[in-house]
Structure 1
Amino acid sequence: MVLFDARAARRKAETRDGEFFHHHFQSLMNPTGSSQFFFTKNTPRLHSFFIFPRHLSKQEGKMPKIFFKKTAKLAMLALVGWATLRTDDFLLRKEVLSADPALLLSLGRHFMVGYQDFEEIKQLVSHGAIGGIFITRRNIAGKSAAEIKRELDELQRIQADLGLPPLLIATDQEGGTISKLSPPLRELPTLGEWVKDHGMDSVEDFVRMQAEDLLSLGVNVNFSPVVDLKPKGRAGILDFNSRIDLRGISPDPETVTQVGLAYSRFLKQHGVMPTLKHFPGLSSLDTDTHLQKGRIKLSFEELAEKDLKPFREILHSTETFLMLGHVVIPDLDPEFPASLSRSVVQKLLRREWNFQGVIVTDDMTMGAIVRAPGGIGPAAVRSLNAGVDLLLFTRQPSLYYSAMRETLRAQRRGELALGFLEQSECRLAKIATEIQGRKIEKISNGDVSWEPSALAASH
């Protein structure tokens, strides 16, 4: 019996021929140059099907025919599977980008998308297919602040040339471990740590540094502050990513409200839109919504007295975005998380709280959404039909295409809540007008090099 040592075979395959094949196989499988996780993660496996047998037969003696035949069959099956996926991916993108331009523009303004391949995000902006950009470490790896700014300025120029209002450009720059643009931006502690060391009167100093850094790149929305109550103990055993114990301001609702309100007011005054997150608060969860849907265990009365208090009071006191977590509030909607729930958005936030600001989902590519029954497409439609303004896709645009295709199809079937969409467009237009005004003011001071078109100014 011949044992196949994959590691040894891989080492033997690292020859010039192997590298040549690997390079051209990557090009064949991924001709657009985009870094979609499926293809890059699995490419070496398929590479091994073709390269390893040849090298083993040359250097280890002749390979048994039956092993070679089985390997070849597996390779062909993998190649057929990949070709099918590539075809599906091509057809998916084609369906979205060839949609009626007016419809794509109308729906696209409700999508904020992250990227790694700059050419791909340029294509989406050129089609008017999105209303916002999310930037994080994936976008900036190996780039200077000047290079990042040039990319974002180019996207804004494309938007302006189309006669559209400025793109919303957002990031997670909380301070501490969640400082997605540091470096090149300066590293600051969390807001809670800053206040503990420097006092409440220093919040504006913290905000001023943060806002200067963000605006220097062209970022106009920050997904901060974190107003989830800080858990008194360690994170739940299944919480690998949220880690509110490290990011939260305080366990005390009054302190969180005071600090979060000061931060939000100052950030808005300095030209960057703040975002309260993660409604309704992740403090009491023992699960991680990056992996699965969370579920509040408190009664609504308990939630209102504790976790909801900072959200409610800050929203009543200043203008800010609100980010909805993928968390079920059983007393309001036992089935769907807040990010997809019409009861939460319309009954609680819009009517009872009278919040008329912009609502954005937490990342729609999290496990809580993509692993849920139906997947990301129906979830996107449900979120828009709940009255959410912006759907956030932080990773590669591939999942955006699935969500947008389903949204386009839902519109053609008459399944979208057009009244909610019209109200949402008014809210987004208001924010765009504010950003537009700041751009025009900076242009008059000679700080930026592009000027919006007359059509954009009319929005």
Structure 2
Amino acid sequence: MRNLESLSLEEKVGQMIIGGFDGYQLSSELITLIEDYKIGGIAYYRRNIDNNEQLFSLSKAMQERAIEKVGIPLLISIDQEGGVVGRITDDFTLIPGNMALGAVGNLDLVYDSAAICAKELKALGINMNLAPCLDINSNPNNCVIGVRSFSDEPLKVSELGIAVINGYQNNDLCATIKHFPGHGDTESDSHYSMPIITQGIDLLYDRELLPFIKAIEAGVDAIMTGHILVPELDKNYPCTVSKIIITDLLRNKLGYEGVVVSDCLEMKGISSAYEFNDLVIKTVQAGVDLLFFAHGFENKIEAINCIIQAVKNGIIPIEQIDASVQRILDLKKKRNLESFIGNWEEAKKEIAKKEHTEFLLSLSEQSITLVKDENNKIPLNTNREVLVINLEVRTDTEIDIVFHLEETLGYYLKKYGCSVNELSYSIDPSEEDIEEILSFTTQYQNIIVTSYNTVKYENQRKLIKRLENLYKDNLIILAVRNPYDILMFEEIKTYILSYESNPVSMDSAAKVLLGKSIAKGNLPVKIY
């Protein structure tokens, strides 16, 4: 691999750009970015993934092109956090999300889950995961983190986060912790607006920053910035463009020597606050090494040209460019990116292996959490038909995945021998839907309703509240995302958590409901 001294200014700046593209193949635009602009990395999104063989072939083609034409391998990255966030959804071992892992709590199992994810991503030619989230979900109304967090306890987030980091990095997958300095204590989503963290400095160090400090001590490869304003750290600039936060705090005070990557600079929370060139220059001046652009082809090129001109004009010192690029090159060498599986027949043996799938099923079962069961409704009395009211989930943020599949909770209850009538309605049913649902309920003594971020959906709250008033002794709520839904329904007697709504989670929840397995999960956040 080429060294820093062999690179021109243009080649150095290209290495500082990472981001997304359109299509399933090595397009002319992608070739231009790799060959002409020497970009340092790419990021996969759902729009790039058709199937595993196609993804493997694309990774191989890009990497071979970069090594042959540039002499430096690409960082090939993806958001594969697990749970509600994942770009690869088919024929892949879909590890539970962070809060489900927090409910499991076993560090060895969490490490093993990350190792499995790393091995399968590496088999597909992916060498960097934009995970794990080390945000502490200290605000129950957080609309973008929630179940992407391990817990609301800083030490638990730290321990579980390090287990994931080690599971990735011990298998040569770059780990990227996020969103520094912590996105947990906010109610706004930086995809759309600028979150503001108003904590005092002592609480920031004791809570928000602690997992990042511990991860730095553990040797994490990369840290992603959050587009967050933290007045106690910098009154004027959000983290991504703050020299005080990136250089003075993260680099100098916390001693971090690895790669700093920005969150997507096209997100409205940051892009609406600055003119494009100003944003790019401020991000580099702050100390960010890799600038992330999820979308526009032209934006990547404009950013490269902007940085080159800023160096030539003396606005950005070449020494800063050199320091950033050296860190990027060091990471690529450390993780041996020039070495990857070159044959699909060999690679596919590592993906969705039987032992991986069996491990996933076991892990998912251990995450199911029974918060309360005052009337001993679980296991269900299978001599009576069960009514399942399934509120069909949808994406709550830009990064969510939703499984529109037949394998609902009712499907799995039937699979295990239970007589079920399942009604499926919108996540926020209409008034007419509510009346229709209630007309079905009078003949049932076992009623299960799925809840999903109830605080956001007024009619979902209305429906469950009416069910609670009518059938509180017979009603079971299964929360399939954030665990805080019960705060809306204090008289509910039976409340169970799956943290996610994918088929494996519904399978696991059905087993617990029928007494085929025991709910072993421990609530990772405080809800009372």
Same-fold status (TM-score > 0.5):
yes
Name the aligned partner's letter for residue 222 of structure 1: N
CA distance 1:128–1:403, shift in 2 (3 Å): closer
Corresponding residue to 1:206 among 108, 113, 128: 113
Whole-Å separation in 1 of the counterparts to 2:250 and 2:313: 28
Name the aligned partner's letter for residue 406 of structure 1: C
Retained in 2: the 8 A contact 1:171–1:219?
Answer: yes
CA distance 1:232–1:348, shift in 2 (3 Å): closer
Higher share in helix: 1
Question: Any stretches of 5+ residues in structure 2 without a counterpart?
Answer: 1-6, 348-528
Whole-Å separation in 2 of the counterparts to 1:267 and 1:377: 35
Whole-Å separation in 2 of the counterparts to 1:325 and 1:309: 16
**Displacement of 1:292:** 1.8
Whole-Å separation in 2 of the counterparts to 1:435 and 1:312: 22
CA distance 1:442–1:399, shift in 2 (3 Å): closer
SS at 1:373's partner residue?
coil
Counterpart for residue 421 of structure 1: 321
Counterpart for residue 152 of structure 1: 59
Whole-Å separation in 2 of the counterparts to 1:431 and 1:200: 26
Counterpart for residue 313 of structure 1: 214
Q: 1:66-113 CA deviation, whole Å, 9 max, x = no partner? A: xxxxxxxxxxxxxxxxxxxxxxxxxxxxxxxxxxx9332110100002
Counterpart for residue 134 of structure 1: 43
Retained in 1: the 8 A contact 2:220–2:258?
Answer: yes
Name the aligned partner's letter for residue 122 of structure 1: I
**Displacement of 1:213:** 1.6
Whole-Å separation in 2 of the counterparts to 1:443 and 1:184: 20
Whole-Å separation in 2 of the counterparts to 1:295 and 1:127: 39
CA distance 1:332–1:175, shift in 2 (3 Å): same
SS at 2:257's partner residue?
coil
Counterpart for residue 223 of structure 1: 130
Retained in 2: the 8 A contact 1:194–1:206?
Answer: no
**Displacement of 1:300:** 1.7
The answer as to 2:288 corresponding to 1:388 is: yes
| C-alpha RMSD of matched pairs (Å) | 2.1
Corresponding residue to 1:324 among 225, 232, 242: 225
Question: Any stretches of 5+ residues in structure 1 without a counterpart?
Answer: 1-100, 449-459
Retained in 1: the 8 A contact 2:137–2:184?
Answer: yes
Retained in 2: the 8 A contact 1:105–1:129?
Answer: yes
Whole-Å separation in 2 of the counterparts to 1:255 and 1:377: 40
**Greater displacement, 191-200 / 304-313:** 191-200
Q: 1:130-163 CA deviation, whole Å, 9 max, x = no partner? A: 10001011111xx211111111111111111124
Counterpart for residue 338 of structure 1: 239
SS at 2:203's partner residue?
helix
Whole-Å separation in 2 of the counterparts to 1:116 and 1:289: 23
Q: 1:280-303 CA deviation, whole Å, 9 max, x = no partner? A: 111111221111222211112211
Retained in 2: the 8 A contact 1:278–1:323?
Answer: yes
Corresponding residue to 2:13 among 97, 102, 107: 107
**Displacement of 1:399:** 2.2
**Displacement of 1:204:** 2.3
Whole-Å separation in 2 of the counterparts to 1:415 and 1:232: 40
**Displacement of 1:323:** 0.6
Structure 1 residues 163-174: aligned runs within 5 Å: 163-174=70-81
Q: 1:153-208 CA deviation, whole Å, 9 max, x = no partner? A: 11111111124221001111000110112224332220331342372221122112
Structure 1 residues 202-351: aligned runs within 5 Å: 202-235=109-142, 239=143, 243-351=144-252
Whole-Å separation in 2 of the counterparts to 1:217 and 1:319: 22
The answer as to 2:31 corresponding to 1:122 is: yes
Whole-Å separation in 1 of the counterparts to 2:301 and 2:271: 14
Q: TM-score, normalised by structure 2?
A: 0.61
Higher share in strand: 2
Whole-Å separation in 1 of the counterparts to 2:181 and 2:166: 21
Counterpart for residue 408 of structure 1: 308
Q: 1:206-251 CA deviation, whole Å, 9 max, x = no partner? A: 112201221111111101111100235233xxx4xxx211211000
Whole-Å separation in 2 of the counterparts to 1:105 and 1:368: 30
Tell me the matched-pair count. 337
Name the aligned partner's letter for residue 369 of structure 1: I
Q: Of the two structures, which has the highest relative contact order with CA contacts closer than 8 Å and spacing of 6 or more?
A: 2
**Displacement of 1:447:** 6.3
Whole-Å separation in 1 of the counterparts to 2:262 and 2:315: 20
Name the aligned partner's letter for residue 175 of structure 1: G
Q: 1:335-357 CA deviation, whole Å, 9 max, x = no partner? A: 11111111111111111111101
Whole-Å separation in 1 of the counterparts to 2:54 and 2:253: 45
Name the aligned partner's letter for residue 52 of structure 2: A
**Greater displacement, 289-298 / 393-402:** 393-402
Name the aligned partner's letter for residue 88 of structure 2: L
CA distance 1:410–1:229, shift in 2 (3 Å): same
Retained in 2: the 8 A contact 1:166–1:435?
Answer: no
Name the aligned partner's letter for residue 266 of structure 1: G
Whole-Å separation in 2 of the counterparts to 1:275 and 1:327: 17
Retained in 2: the 8 A contact 1:191–1:249?
Answer: yes
Q: TM-score, normalised by structure 1?
A: 0.70
Retained in 1: the 8 A contact 2:79–2:129?
Answer: yes
Whole-Å separation in 1 of the counterparts to 2:225 and 2:176: 10
Name the aligned partner's letter for residue 421 of structure 1: I
The answer as to 2:69 corresponding to 1:162 is: yes
Retained in 2: the 8 A contact 1:128–1:159?
Answer: no
Counterpart for residue 397 of structure 1: 297
Retained in 1: the 8 A contact 2:139–2:186?
Answer: no
